[in-house]
Amino acid sequence: MSALLVCSLFALNAAGARADGTYVKEGGGGIIALHNKDVRMVWETLDIAVDRKDLLAPDSQLTVTATYLFRNESKQPLAIEMGFPVAWDQSEFYAQAAHCFDRDSHSSVSEFSVTVDGQVMSAILREGKKPIKTGCLKDEAANRAREREAKANEKGPFYHQFYVWPIAFAPGADHTVINHYRYDAKVTGYWEENDLVYILKTGGLWRGSIDKLSIRFHLGDRGCVYEGGPESCIAGVGDELHDFTDDPFKLSREVPEKITPAGGKLHRLPDGTDELLWALSGYKPESDVRLAYQTALAARNAVRKSIEKLDLRNTNARRLAWARDTLLALYGLTFTDPITQKRYAQKSWYVIDPTMTRERAATDKLLVNVEASLAAAPH
């Protein structure tokens, strides 16, 4: 997996810029992350949610809200710049350059905003410092030496770009910082998967540990998580259905051990949707959140494709009515007939969407064609 979702905020230094506090260092070539020995991230709450218009729409668009409480634990006033990386971790990119492959550094982050204590801040997008010169560096030992040098100088990872804004702390003062943005989980993945990478390690650049870190990833659907790659966490999703009434799909309820940090748990909510939760305390980040995810959209698409293959003019009214009801169920509509409702409530892919209406679903061309054939079919 490869996409960057969010990075816990950290202090910066910029070419030609100075800020109060001994942790800031001069550096040419762009923005770099630095350790800060005075300011502590007391707690962080991260809320990530799949955002789509309906249950048959793509599930790769996410909304993200990250809320932090920072505290100046020194006895001195501080004026620093905070930074939020929005493109590739270049240290990892160049460390893999022995393979000499090209990577798109396009940012998956859009509509970024930041508030400090409720006040909207102007965040400026600035270039990050490059860890090495451009080109393909095949010397793996040289890459590792640069990484060791950066660590020794208390620098964090290198990124292509940062959103940057200033913040001032009185001695002992707290500030609440909120970042909100949209994220495309498919922008930079190797495979046709939804990649979620939440960079936690830079949260370790602040003083001490984080008292409480809460992460909630709400899929807005039934779903599952896995390590990524060409495989799937939904059994049966890669097979062509014999009939649209089949339901061979099984969503994994396991959270693989290799998904970091440890302790993430998948929960089924009362409305039938799933969310992945972490509740960490006294946490000093040493790993990032890395996973791929799928929703029941993959199963719904398989069912829909099976309906698309029907010869509507030569399908009897009973089958057409069943196909119509199945399309409505794919959108998450409910049925007044208890037998029909029970039939779909048992499907692995069925989730009720309280915002969906019969009128909205009726704009689906496949549903229009099925209903037209049903009206014309002998009963």
Domain coordinates of the chain in residue numbers? 6-299, 310-376
Alpha-carbon span 148 to 207, nearest angstrom: 21
Tens digits of residue pLDDT in 207-248: 999 999 999 999 999 999 998 877 889 999 877 899 999 999
For the domain spanning 6-299, the CATH number is 2.60.40.3680
Q: Hey, what amino acid is at 112?
A: F
Q: Residue 304: what pLDDT?
A: 97
Alpha-carbon span 223 to 298, nearest angstrom: 10
For the domain spanning 310-376, the CATH number is 1.20.58.1690
DSSP SS3 for 48: strand
Q: Residue 154: what pLDDT?
A: 52
CA nearest 196: which of 112, 301, 293, 302? 293
Count Cβ atoms below 10 Å from residue 25 Cβ, excluding itself: 14
DSSP SS3 for 196: strand
Tens digits of residue pLDDT in 66-116: 999 999 999 999 998 888 877 655 444 444 444 433 444 456 788 999 999
Q: Residue 5: what pLDDT?
A: 38
CA nearest 108: which of 19, 242, 1, 213? 1
Low-confidence ranges of the chain (pLDDT < 50): 1-7, 13-28, 90-105, 132-138
Q: Residue 159: what pLDDT?
A: 66
Q: Measure the N-to-C terminal CA separation of the chain; round to a whole number of Å.
A: 53
Q: Residue 70: what pLDDT?
A: 95
Q: Residue 98: what pLDDT?
A: 40
Q: Residue 10: what pLDDT?
A: 55
Q: Residue 108: what pLDDT?
A: 77
